[in-house]
Every structure is written in structure tokens, then in C-alpha cells.
Structure 1
Amino acid sequence: MIITLTMNPSVDYLYKLSTLSPGNLNRVELVSKMVGGKGINAARVSSILGTDTIAMGVIGGQNGQYIENETSIDKFTPKFIKVKNETRNCYVILDKNNNKTEINEYGYPIETKTISLITNNIREILSNEKVSIISLNGSLPTNCPSDFYNRLIKDIRSINKDVKVLLDTSGDALKTCLNSKYLPNIIKPNEVEIANLLGISVTTDVKILKAKIEKNDLLSKIPIIFVSLGSQGSLVKYNHSFYKITFPKINAVNTQGSGDSTVGGLLSAIDMQKDEKEIIKYGSAAGTANALNIKTGFIDIEDFKNSYDNVEISMIGE
């Protein structure tokens, strides 16, 4: 079983137009409204891949009701905590060249009692279910302590040290975790996030990234690092090995949520106890399959199978 946690979910709006002209009237050719939130997207994908998944999170207001209604048809088990404050909105604008502009609300503050309830709910599930991996996803609400994920990892390890933790966040929440003794088993930064962690300029050169990660005292201790490099594929550190991941060029429909879908694929493969390269291929194929669908954080199983067959993995030498 898998648990995903989304502390700051959203209702997402996707606008597609030919050209975005700032400061002028823009006519939208396509509008899509959908459930957002990294952990919810990952849970949807892992459940489509046949893995028993619980999606946890905090929802409220009319947007929260929308999320509850929409996820009732998903294959995962929703365990959302309802609050009074409205769940945030996020907007993505895509032009004909798939250039993306994002506008994300911060979201309302979260009460201390809600934070405690989330922790207690996770403890209860861990004590009563056979959980293989927990994914902690996305940004934290504005007043949530930056060490919340760190504390949660400590709790998880105290209950069951064999449960793996995937951390998919950024900024202070990520840095706080990496500077503690309770490190996640897996992180999934993109090229900008990994450059920030390494203190270097953004690059997609896998040899440069490999050398920098190996010399970094914190990152070298994390078993799996899956670095998304956009159209250039991915770099994966798996224990002491490094891999370059490539796939054929696709006609992407919507790349929003591909990172979350990658997480869903990784979670599913780990829960199914796949081997090293299978885990990498599952994550890569799920991310690619998402880009072929207009719906964010969603894959068609045939797209996944085709993508899986075309993923190429090569080990990066010394």
C-alpha cells in the first residue's frame, strides 16, 4: 500500500491559447478545470497502475467540495481532512509552443490542530496497514512550520523504519529536511531545483550534475534522486549508480503534472517490489504518458505501456 500526502491541494485551471500577450486581451481556445495537488496527481497515477493507494490532504470550501466530488471516481482511497478555509486555485497558461505560465495562489493558513490530526492519521494507518512507501508532496500552507515534513519523517521512522519516504517539495521545506538527520529515501527535483541545491547554474549536462551530486555531503546520502530535465530526459542516482534516461520525442498535449505522474510511477513500482531499472522505467513512462493527455496527473494505460517500451536507460561512467 502507498500513502500520498498533499498539504496544499488546489483546483487547477488550464488555459490554452495561440500566443500569450501580457498587458493585452487574450482569447482562450481551451479551458480545462481539474483537481490539482502533487500528491493527488501521484495517487491517481499509481492507482491507475493497479497499486492500492490512499490519498491524504486538506480541503475546504467550494473548491474542497469540488475535489471531493471529482476524486470520488478515482481508483485511490481519499482520506481528506475538511477545514473551513477555501482550497486555493492555480492557473496554467499554455501557448501553441507549450510555453507555460503559472499563477499559483499560496493558500490559506492551516490550524495547529489540523496539522496534529494529519500526523495522527498517518500514525494510525501505519499501525494498521502494510504500507511500503509514503510520498510527501508539494508546498506547505503559509503558517505550517518549514520542518513539518522533517518531523513527519521522524515519526514515520519511529513507527516503521522499513517504510520508504519520497519527498517531492522545494524551497525551505526541502532544505530543512536535507539538513536534518531524517533524510528521505527519494527526492525528485527538476533541473532548477537541483541547481539550487548544488549552488550551481542550471544545466542539463548529466556528467556535471553527477559529479556535483557525488561531492555533495547531503545529496550523496540520499539513495534515489530522480532529476527531471524536461525534453532532455532525466538523471537518476540510484544508490551508487547514475543513469541517463531518454525517450523518443513526443507531441506533448499537456506537460503539467508530468513530474507528479513520474512520482506515481515510482511509487507503484516500489510497492510492487520492482528492480532498480524497472522502477526507473515506471517513473519515466508515467511522466511521459501524462504529457500525452489533456488531463493533469492522468495516464492512459496504453500510452504508459508504449512509453515504457521506448524508455532508454544508460549508465553514466566515471
Structure 2
Amino acid sequence: MIYTVTLNPSIDYVVKLDDLKKGDINRTVEEYVYPGGKGINVSLILKELGYESCALGFVSGFTGVYIQSILSEKNLKSDFINLENGFTRINVKVKSKEETEINGQGPHICEEKLNMLYEKIDKLNSDDILVLAGSIPSTLDERLYENIMARIQNKNIKVIVDATKKLLLNVLKYKPFLIKPNNNELEEMFNVKLESIDDVVFYGNKLKEMGAQNVLVSMGKDGALLITKDNQILRSNVGRGIVKNSVGAGDSMVAGFIGGYLKNHKYEEALSLGAASGSATAFSYDLATNDFIKIIKSEIKIETLN
């Protein structure tokens, strides 16, 4: 089973305006409501691709009930821990001439509830895949991902980490199966400016030397680069389309990589389906559909750089 962890899920309220006028009343042209959170996005795309997963994390209040009901309608398995305080956050995403986001904080997670999550993860075995995605709420120890990986390090579980800066760097000693920084995050981690593909390869290899088994770097319009466990360096292009929504594209790439890898354990297929899934979501207002992913995948080419 594939398990995804979303520590601070959300309801994403997406509104489109002709022009955002500060200090005035604005009328929406379009509006949408989606369940949000990186791990949830991974689970939703996995479902589109035909793979079952179980979404773990914390929910609270009326917004938490809504998220669970939407996932249930989509026949997506979840095992969230319910919190007594506050409510699952609401993120407002305004799309106008510029994109503006207002993200909620989310409820407090106490030690008792956190231990309940640990207990669920402790039950995983070597047949399982665990996806740790997104930021850690300010109320929790920033070493949480490290703590999770330390608990399961001897179980041979494939762990995928999609996080930034120290959250990512600090788990490398536990040898995650896959990490997925984007090119901007790679620059931030090493305090450098990436000027070429050779630079991406160089710093991607540094992450591999630090412990990551496979390093997948998403590069927007420049495609994606994968440095594999067996030292292959693969690059994908992107499909053709107009970017409508960058939210969830990276999560879709992670889900596509997992689906492609499970299909035949070939990294070329993993990168191809990952790149297609990420592009398809970027070209959609919501997360991509399986049909659209298939169309984009026909346009994806994989190049070996070594």
C-alpha cells in the first residue's frame, strides 16, 4: 500500500477576478473549492492513475469533515486523525493579473495525537511506500520527518520526501528512496545560482552523495532531471500546453513517478509518467485527469545524459 502524509491539509478556495482592487469590493468571475495539501494531491493523482493509496494526517472541524467527505466521494481511502481544536485551514488563492495567496494556519497538534500518527506509521512494512510531503506546522518539531524515518529505517520501506531546505537535507542520512526538489529549492539549499543543466546535475549528485537514493529535480518549462540509484542521469521535456495552475504540479509529478516505477520498475517509465502528470496538472485548473495525462505522456521524451 502507498501511504501519503499531509500534516496540515487545507480547503483551497480558488477565485478568478478580472482585476483585484485593494480596499474595494471584488466580484469573482469563477470560483472553485478543492481539498488541498501535498500528500492529498499525491493520493488523488495516484487514484487517477489506477493506484490505491491511503491518506494520513490530521483534520479538524467542519472543514476537516468536508475534506474527508470529498475523498470518500472519490473512493480514496483515508485514515486521518481528528483533532478537537480549531478547524482544518482554508487557503484563499486569488487568480487575477497576478496570483495572490492567503494561507491559513491550521489547528494545534498535541503530542498525544502526534503519537497516534507514529503508531499508524509503525505498522508499515517492506511492501509499503510512504510519501512525506509538504511543510511541517509551526506547532510541531521541525525534525518530525527525521523522527518518522528513524522509526522505520530498518523496515526497508521506500520513503519519498517532497520538502524544502532543512526538512529535506536532514532526512538524507536515512537514505530516502526518492527526493523531489525543484530547481529553485536546489538553489536555496546550496545557496547557489543554477546556470545550466550541468549545475543541476552537480548539485543533484551532491544530494545523492548525502544519502538520497534517487533525486528528481523539477525544472518548470525546462522539464525534469532524474539521477537514479544506479547513477543514470535522465532528462525529460514537458508536454505542450498553456500553464493554468502551478499548484499541485510537483505533487502530480511525485505521484506519476510512483505509478511509473510500480508499473515495471524502470526509471525511464517513472520519469516519463512523472513528467506527464506534472505537466498535465500545470495545464489544468484542477489536478489532471488520467485521460489528459495519457495525452501529455505521448509527447514526453526521455534523454540519457550519461
TM-score of the superposed pair, with normalisation by structure 1: 0.88
Structure 1 contact 186–226 (Cα < 8 Å) conserved: yes
Counterparts of 1:163-202 in structure 2, within 5 Å, are 163-178=157-172, 181-201=173-193
From 233, 247, 250, give the equivalent of 1:256.
247
2:219 is aligned with 1:241: no
How far apart, in 1, do the equivalents of 2:291 and 2:6 lie? 27
Q: Secondary structure at the match of 1:114?
A: helix
Structure 1 contact 123–156 (Cα < 8 Å) conserved: yes
Instruction: Give the direction of change, closer, same or farther, for the CA distance of 1:235–1:138 in structure 2 (3 Å limit).
Output: same
Structure 2 contact 234–268 (Cα < 8 Å) conserved: no
Counterparts of 1:152-163 in structure 2, within 5 Å, are 152-158=148-154, 160-161=155-156, 163=157
Aligned to 1:271: 262
How far apart, in 1, do the equivalents of 2:167 and 2:210 lie? 19
Q: CA deviation at 1:25?
A: 5.2
Q: Percent identity at matched positions?
A: 28
Instruction: Give the direction of change, closer, same or farther, for the CA distance of 1:304–1:204 in structure 2 (3 Å limit).
Output: farther
Instruction: Give the direction of change, closer, same or farther, for the CA distance of 1:218–1:197 in structure 2 (3 Å limit).
Output: farther
How far apart, in 1, do the equivalents of 2:227 and 2:21 lie? 40
Counterparts of 1:1-318 in structure 2, within 5 Å, are 1-20=1-20, 26-85=26-85, 86-95=87-96, 99-124=98-123, 126-127=124-125, 131-158=127-154, 160-161=155-156, 163-178=157-172, 181-201=173-193, 203=194, 205-214=196-205, 216=206, 221-239=211-229, 240-295=231-286, 298-317=287-306
Structure 1 contact 292–303 (Cα < 8 Å) conserved: no
Q: Secondary structure at the match of 1:221?
A: coil
Unaligned runs of 5+ residues in structure 2 are none
Instruction: Give the direction of change, closer, same or farther, for the CA distance of 1:28–1:252 in structure 2 (3 Å limit).
Output: same
Greater relative CO (CA pairs within 8 A, separation 6+): 1
Structure 1 contact 15–30 (Cα < 8 Å) conserved: yes
Q: CA deviation at 1:309?
A: 1.1
How far apart, in 2, do the equivalents of 1:73 and 1:279 lie? 28
Instruction: Give the direction of change, closer, same or farther, for the CA distance of 1:225–1:292 in structure 2 (3 Å limit).
Output: same
> Which residue identity lines up with residue 242 of structure 1 in the other structure?
I
How far apart, in 1, do the equivalents of 2:20 and 2:224 lie? 29
> Which residue identity lines up with residue 108 of structure 2 in the other structure?
P
Greater displacement, 23-32 / 136-145: 23-32
Instruction: Give the direction of change, closer, same or farther, for the CA distance of 1:75–1:291 in structure 2 (3 Å limit).
Output: farther
Q: CA RMSD of the aligned region, Å?
A: 2.1
Unaligned runs of 5+ residues in structure 1 are none
> Which residue identity lines up with residue 166 of structure 2 in the other structure?
D
> Which residue identity lines up with residue 161 of structure 2 in the other structure?
L
Structure 1 contact 44–75 (Cα < 8 Å) conserved: no
Q: Secondary structure at the match of 2:160?
A: strand
How far apart, in 2, do the equivalents of 1:108 and 1:33 lie? 20
Q: CA deviation at 1:303?
A: 0.7
Q: CA deviation at 1:20?
A: 4.2
Q: CA deviation at 1:68?
A: 1.1
Aligned length: 304
Structure 1 contact 133–271 (Cα < 8 Å) conserved: no
Q: Secondary structure at the match of 2:241?
A: coil
Structure 1 contact 198–213 (Cα < 8 Å) conserved: no
